[in-house]
Amino acid sequence: MPELPEVQTILDAIATLIIDQPIADVIVGWEGVIDRPPLPVFLNELRGRRVTGVERRGKYMLFRLDDGHWLVMHLRMTGRMRVVAASEPRDRHDHLVLQLEDGREWRFNDTRKFGRAYLVPDPADVTQRLGPEPLSDDFSSDYLAAALTGRKAPIKSLLLDQRLVAGIGNIYADEALYRACIHPLRPGGSLDAQEVAAVAAAVKSVLAQALTEMGTTLRDYRRPDGSVGSFQNSLQVFRRTGEPCPTCGAPIRRIIVGGRSTHFCPEEQRQT
DNA sequence: AAGAGACCCTGGATGC
DNA sequence: TGCATCCAGGGTCTCT
C-alpha cells in the first residue's frame, strides 16, 4: 500500500521515536515476516542493538544499527508501524515487536502478511536491483528516455517496475500519467522526447506534492501516530471512476493494465 | 530478454 | 441475514 511519500512520512515520524533506544528484546508473532537471516540468527543479532539512523530506498525502510548491520523493512500493501507503551494490547496482526529498553514497543503490523523484515550487513543486499530515486537528479528525462527505448510494455506498467524507477506505486503512477497527459496503455518506447520529459516532470511533481501532504490515506495507511495523510483530497483520477475529469469534465475511466486497476481521462490522455 | 500471469494473504465491500 | 464473489495502494517467481 504505501508508496514513496507514505514510506518517507512514516520513516520521518518513527525515526525520532526509536533512534538511540536499545532494543531489549524481539518478539516474532508470525515467522514469515522475517525474510532473512534464519529466525534464531535474526533474533540473536537484533537483541541489544540500537538504531543509529534511518534512510529510505524506494519503498524500503533502512534502519542502521550500532553494529553496522541494517534492519530493512518493506510494508508492502497493509504494513503499519507504531511505537506504543508496552501496556497497550497487541493486535493479532502485530507480527514483529521490538521491545525498547524504556518500556515502549516498536510494532510492525501487517494484515495481509506481505510485509518483510531483513537483517543484512549492507542494505544493497536487498535494494541492489532498484532503479534511481524519482526525486533525485539521476531520474532525468535523459535517463527515462534511455530506459524506455525499445520497450513495448504499457508506460503504466513500466512506471510500476521498481528496477526502472524506485518508489512509484499504483496511485502515483495514475496521477503522474494524468498530469503528463499520457494514456496508460501507450507502449513505453512510443513516447517522444517531449512526452518522456512530461512524464519525468509529472512523476517528480506528484511525489513532491504528496510528500508535503504526508501521503494518501485510502484505507490502511496511517502515520505512526494514527493520523492520516491528505493527498487523497488531491487525487485527480485515482479511484474516481465515473467522476468528471478536473480539466475537461469527461468521466474518468477505469481499466486493468498489467493486472492493476488503472484510472485515466479518455479525453486528456489520448491513446494515439 | 521482455512481458504476461500466478501467487503470497486477510478482510471489507458488493451482489444475490 | 447469510453466503459468494470481487477487490485491494506490492513484489517475486515462473513460463513463454
Q: Sorting pLDDT into bands at 50, 70 and 90, what band is A218?
A: confident
The predicted model gives A186-200 an average pLDDT of 97
Q: Sorting pLDDT into bands at 50, 70 and 90, what band is A101?
A: very high
CA distances from A226 to A14, A18, A26, A150 (A): 12, 17, 23, 44
State pLDDT tens for residues A56-78.
Answer: 999 999 999 999 999 999 999 99
Question: pLDDT at residue A223 above 90?
Answer: no
Q: Taking a C-beta distance cutoff of 8 angstroms, is the pair A167, A173 a contact? A: no
Question: pLDDT at residue A37 above 70?
Answer: yes
The predicted model gives A227-249 an average pLDDT of 93
- Per the structure, the residue whose CA is closest to nucleotide B4 at C1' is A258
Which nt sits closest to A256, CA to C1'? C7
**Sheet containing A23-28: order of strands:** A23-28, A94-100, A104-110, A79-85
A2 is catalytic: yes
Check residue A246 and give its pLDDT.
Answer: 96
Q: Give residue numbers, 43 to 102 of A, with CB < 7 Å from strand B.
A: 92-93
Asked if strand B comes closer than 7 Å to A32 Cβ, the answer is: yes
Q: From the CA of A246 to the C1' of C10: give the distance in Å.
A: 29
What is this structure's pTM? 0.97
Question: pLDDT at residue A168 above 70?
Answer: yes
Query: What span, in angstroms and rounded, lies between the C-alpha atoms of A226 and A98?
Result: 19
Query: Cα A38 to chain center, whole Å?
Result: 25
Q: Which of A49, A56, A59, A222 is catalytic?
A: A59
Query: What span, in angstroms and rounded, lies between the C-alpha atoms of A150 and A238?
Result: 28
The predicted model gives A229-252 an average pLDDT of 94
Q: Sorting pLDDT into bands at 50, 70 and 90, what band is A42?
A: very high
Q: Sorting pLDDT into bands at 50, 70 and 90, what band is A122?
A: very high
Q: From the CA of A146 to the C1' of B12: give the distance in Å.
A: 42
Footprint on protein of nucleic strand C, Cβ below 7 A: A 1-3, 6, 58-59, 74, 76-77, 112, 114, 129, 160, 162, 169-171, 215-221, 259-261
State pLDDT tens for residues A138-161.
Answer: 999 999 999 999 999 999 999 999
A59 is catalytic: yes
Asked if strand B comes closer than 7 Å to A259 Cβ, the answer is: yes
Check residue A186 and give its pLDDT.
Answer: 96
A260 is catalytic: yes
Q: Taking a C-beta distance cutoff of 8 angstroms, is the pair A212, A196 a contact? A: no
Q: From the CA of A119 to the C1' of C13: give the distance in Å.
A: 22
Check residue A220 and give its pLDDT.
Answer: 80
Q: Sorting pLDDT into bands at 50, 70 and 90, what band is A25?
A: very high
Check residue A228 and give its pLDDT.
Answer: 86
Give the DSSP per-residue string, A76-130.
TTTEEEEEEETTSPPPTTEEEEEEETTSEEEEEEETTS--EEEEESSTHHHHTT-
A204 is catalytic: no
Query: What span, in angstroms and rounded, lies between the C-alpha atoms of A151 and A159?
Result: 12
Check residue A222 and give its pLDDT.
Answer: 86
Nearest to A7 by CA among A177, A169, A239: A169
Question: pLDDT at residue A1 above 70?
Answer: no
| Nucleic acid strand C: bases within 7 A of protein CB | 7-12
Question: pLDDT at residue A260 above 90?
Answer: yes
- What is the pLDDT of chain A when averaged over all its residues? 95
Which nt sits closest to A215, CA to C1'? C9
